[in-house]
């Protein structure tokens, strides 16, 4: 019979209940020497230039096909480090939990976080827990920050050059579509899952293959459209993209048509975009396709100077249009 234990305000009060929560749940699943030292601040050792990032996760629903808020928090923060060529090392994790939240659900989330950490080798070395009265937050929010050691320098949204090849690591829009269907209760999702996943193994493969990377970014909020437009503006170049080359799952496309959205605007949580010199494109594809999470990597376009600051989408029928930044709040609380 499932446990009926719930998180109480006392679990965030700093006393016996807090101590039990920290030791029996967080220390148990996140165990490492730095965390177990239980100091006011973690003492870290890093030997070279670092990347540092932070993010907060408020996804609704907190459990979805392909993951949950815990897995998303780890993958999202680790991926932000990986996109800068940084090996993820250390993470913080802070929980804001609504009074009455089921303890069993919290344990599922924490276990998912511990499991996702294995894909990068990163460690949670510090954290915090706040419990607030019912209604003050929607179930649970998680904040994570991360530190990574730079293994590949020169990766920047300001570093695209004419002739660079644009690669997408997998099909686009999957996370946003999966969340939308869970939220709307459509019951037509079939096997459609969020692409939520850690991308560091794929980045490590690129580094090991000595691929030159001009730019790299995970296509989260705003999806492919946002990344490409940000790059075009920041590097003052034109990105010419072949629409037929962009992989979109049939289920994702169906959902977009149903709601009047465009898959290129939908979020991903395990898909990245990268720009590489043309002479490294084939090597990059080979490296990515050896890693399960990026096995469907493909070339979708190139960098030119035709219309600086613009993204041009070429259709299979010979027509072209600008691919603009998404407008408005397409789908709130996707991450």
Give me the CATH topology for the region 165-322.
Answer: Phosphoribosyl-aminoimidazole Synthetase; Chain A, domain 2 (3.90.650)
**Given pLDDT bands bounded at 50, 70 and 90, which one contains residue 301?**
very high
Phi-psi region of 10 (alpha: psi -120 to 50; beta: other; left: phi over 0): alpha
Q: Give the pLDDT confidence score for residue 4 in this predicted structure.
A: 78
Mean pLDDT of 80-102: 98
State how far the alpha carbon of 90 is from the alpha carbons of 108, 119, 151, 155, in Å.
22, 13, 15, 21
Percentage of residues in the chain with pLDDT exceeding 90? 91
CA nearest to 206, candidates 160, 258, 155: 155
User: The dihedral of CA 47, 272, 109, 131: what is its sign?
Assistant: positive
The CATH class of the 9-150 domain is alpha beta
pLDDT at 331: 82
What's the pLDDT tens digit per position in 282-297? Answer: 999 999 999 999 999 9
Q: What is the pLDDT of residues 16-35, one digit of tens each?
A: 999 999 999 999 999 999 99
Quote the pLDDT of residue 189.
Answer: 47
- In this predicted model, what pLDDT tens digit does every residue of 108-142 receive, in sequence order? 999 999 999 999 999 999 999 999 999 999 999 99
What is the average pLDDT score of the chain? 95
Q: What is the pLDDT of residues 143-191, one digit of tens each?
A: 999 999 999 999 999 999 999 999 999 999 999 999 998 887 765 546 8
Average pLDDT of 245-252?
A: 96
Distance of alpha carbon 71 from the chain centroid: 10
Q: In the prediction, which pLDDT does 190 show?
A: 64
The residue behind tokens 């680790």 is: 78
Please report the pLDDT score of residue 155 as a whole number.
Answer: 98
Burial class (CB in 10 A: 0-12, 13-18, 19+), 6: middle
By C-alpha distance, which of 258, 166, 172 is closest to 220?
172
pLDDT of residue 232: 98
DSSP 249-318: -HHHHHHHHHHT--GGGS--SS-EEEEE-GGGHHHHHHHHHTSGGGTT-EEEEEEESSSTT-EEEE-TTS
pLDDT above 70: percentage of residues in the chain: 97
* Section 230-259 average pLDDT: 96
The pLDDT tens digits of the residues spanning 195-229 come to: 999 999 999 999 999 999 999 999 999 999 999 99
Confidence check: pLDDT of 43 > 70:
yes
Alpha-carbon distance of 239 to 307, in angstroms, equals 8
pLDDT at 2: 47
- Total residue length of the chain: 335
pLDDT of residue 188: 58
Q: Give the list of residues 6+ apart from residue 54 with CB closer than 8 angstroms, or none.
A: 77, 143, 144, 145, 146
Average pLDDT for 44-56: 95
Q: What is the rounded distance in angstroms from the CA atom of residue 211 to the CA atom of residue 56? A: 32
φ, ψ at 246 (rounded to 5°): -80, 120
Question: Structural domain boundaries of the chain?
Answer: 9-150, 165-322
Beta-bridge partner residues of 91: 124, 146
**Residues whose CB is less than 8 angstroms from the CB of residue 257 and which lie 6 or more positions away in sequence, other chains included:** none
Q: Do residues 226 and 219 lie in contact, with contact meaning Cβ atoms separated by under 8 Å?
A: yes
pTM of the model: 0.95
């Amino acid at each position: 019979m499932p446990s009926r234990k719930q998180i109480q305000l006392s679990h965030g009060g700093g006393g016996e209940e807090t101590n039990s929560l920290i030791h029996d749940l967080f220390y148990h699943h996140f165990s490492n020497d730095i965390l177990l030292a239980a100091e006011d601040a973690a003492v870290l050792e890093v030997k070279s230039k670092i990347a540092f990032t932070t993010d907060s996760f408020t996804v609704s629903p907190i459990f979805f096909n392909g993951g949950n808020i815990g897995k998303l928090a780890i993958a999202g923060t680790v991926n932000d480090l990986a996109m800068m060529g940084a090996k993820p090392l250390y993470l913080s994790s802070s929980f804001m939990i609504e009074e009455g939240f089921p303890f069993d659900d919290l344990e599922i989330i924490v276990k998912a976080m511990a499991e996702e950490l294995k894909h990068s080798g990163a460690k949670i070395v510090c954290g915090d827990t706040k419990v607030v009265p019912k209604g003050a937050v929607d179930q649970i929010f998680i904040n994570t920050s991360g530190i990574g050691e730079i293994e590949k320098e020169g990766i920047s949204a300001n570093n695209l050059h004419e002739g660079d090849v644009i690669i997408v690591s997998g099909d686009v829009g999957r996370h946003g579509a999966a969340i939308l269907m869970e939220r709307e209760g459509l019951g037509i999702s079939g096997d459609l899952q969020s692409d939520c996943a850690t991308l560091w193994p794929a980045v490590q493969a690129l580094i090991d293959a000595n691929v030159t990377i001009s730019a790299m970014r995970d296509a989260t909020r705003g999806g492919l459209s946002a990344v490409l437009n940000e790059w075009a503006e920041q590097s003052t170049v034109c990105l010419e993209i072949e629409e037929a080359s962009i992989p979109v799952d049939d289920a994702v496309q169906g959902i977009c048509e149903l709601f009047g959205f465009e898959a290129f605007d939908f979020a991903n949580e395990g898909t990245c975009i990268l720009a590489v010199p043309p002479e490294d494109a084939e090597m990059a594809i080979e490296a990515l396709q050896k890693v399960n999470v990026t096995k469907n990597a493909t070339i979708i376009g190139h960098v030119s100077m035709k219309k600086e600051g613009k993204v041009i989408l070429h259709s299979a029928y010979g027509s072209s249009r600008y691919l603009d930044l998404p407008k408005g709040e397409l789908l709130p609380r996707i991450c």
